[in-house]
Amino acid sequence: MQETVRIVGVSKTFATRSGEVHALADVDLTVGEGEFVSLIGPSGCGKSTLMRLVADLEQPSAGTVEVFGKTPRQARNDQDYGIAFQQAGLLPWRTVAANIALPLEIHRVGRAERKQRVAELAELVGLSDFADHHPDQLSGGMQQRVAIARALAERPRLLLMDEPFGALDEMTRERMQSELARIAVETGAAVVFVTHSIPEAVFLSDRVVVMSPRPGRITTVITTGIGRDVARDEALRESPAFFEKVTEVREGLHGVPVRSPALEGR
């Protein structure tokens, strides 16, 4: 089975005015079909950079990135992924419906088909009643829901999300996590999810990738073992198994980087 994302020996260095910044060093990672993978680590560990490399918003300084067996640029041109950032990034002059329709418009999808798809997506994120509102009339959580609907517009098999719930309050955040989990299962998409909330990572993911401070390496990868059939709800958050996994991730965050076997002997 073809992997959704395959990252091998990737490093990324930025040239800044105050010298070189080594954001990532020798990172290996694969994401399987329909798998939910979280990237977690302290600020500056390169988790966002790693996601951006997959999105073709940055290019690696060394190593390779493959998305559905293609280069990230090709995957981007083929619109194989949908992306959501920490800010919703909605265009203020467009209504909710028009914002969701943005990628469809750019890819010249016909009007009737656009209308139908937008209605479906608005329904999926529970905002059908707000389709004619403008972003400045919506709360932060609602704006993020629109951003997620927009990311799903072209039925991508891969979702890239960079701390999409970071700007929300805790209660809204937990609600949105349940929503996202449901959507991920319903659409069957793989998700690469960047966060620095440990409970969020454990709650949502099949695997949690713990990264070290700059230069970013993968410290450890923890399998949550929470199956797809387990409901993502309050009961899960309060279960002892959940707390154990959270503890495991926390300890991983304090741990030592794992040497990638591909680099042994270099």
Partner 1 sequence: MSAALVDPTNPVPETAPVARSGHRGGLWLARARAVGLGLLGLLAVAGLWEAYKALGPEDGVLVGENRVLPRTTDLAMPHVWDMVQRLGEPVTSLGDAEPLWRVVLDASVVSLGIATVGWLVGTTVGLLLAVLMQRVRIAEWGLLPWIVLSQTVPLIAFAPVVRSWGSRIEIAGWEWPPWLSVALIASYLAFFPVAVGALKGLQSPDRIHTELLRSYAASATDTLRKVRIPASVPYLLPALRLGAASAVIGGVVAEVSTGYLDGIGRLLVSYAGQASGDPAKAWAPIFGAIGLGLVAAGFVALLGVLMRNYRRGEAV
CA gap 236, 50 in Å, rounded: 29
Using CB under 8 A as the binding rule, whether residue 103 contacts partner 1 is answered as yes
Q: Using alpha carbons, list the distances in angstroms from residue 222 to 136, 239, 264.
A: 40, 18, 22
CA gap 26, 23 in Å, rounded: 10
Q: 14 pairs with which residues across the strands? A: 21
CA distance between the termini of the chain: 30
Using CB under 8 A as the binding rule, whether residue 107 contacts partner 1 is answered as yes
Subset of residues 234 to 263 that bind partner 1, contact rule: CB under 8 A: none
In the bound state with partner 1, the residue whose beta carbon lies nearer, of 108 and 254, is 108
Subset of residues 52 to 91 that bind partner 1, contact rule: CB under 8 A: 55-57, 76-77, 79, 81, 83, 85, 87, 89-91
> Quick one: which H or E segment has residue 82?
strand 81-84
Smallest gap from residue 7 Cβ to partner 1 (A): 18
Tell me which amino acid residue 251 is.
Answer: E
Smallest gap from residue 76 Cβ to partner 1 (A): 5
Smallest gap from residue 87 Cβ to partner 1 (A): 6
Using CB under 8 A as the binding rule, whether residue 185 contacts partner 1 is answered as no
Query: Where do contacts with partner 1 occur on this chain (CB under 8 A)?
Result: 55-57, 76-77, 79, 81, 83, 85, 87, 89-93, 102-103, 105-107, 134-140
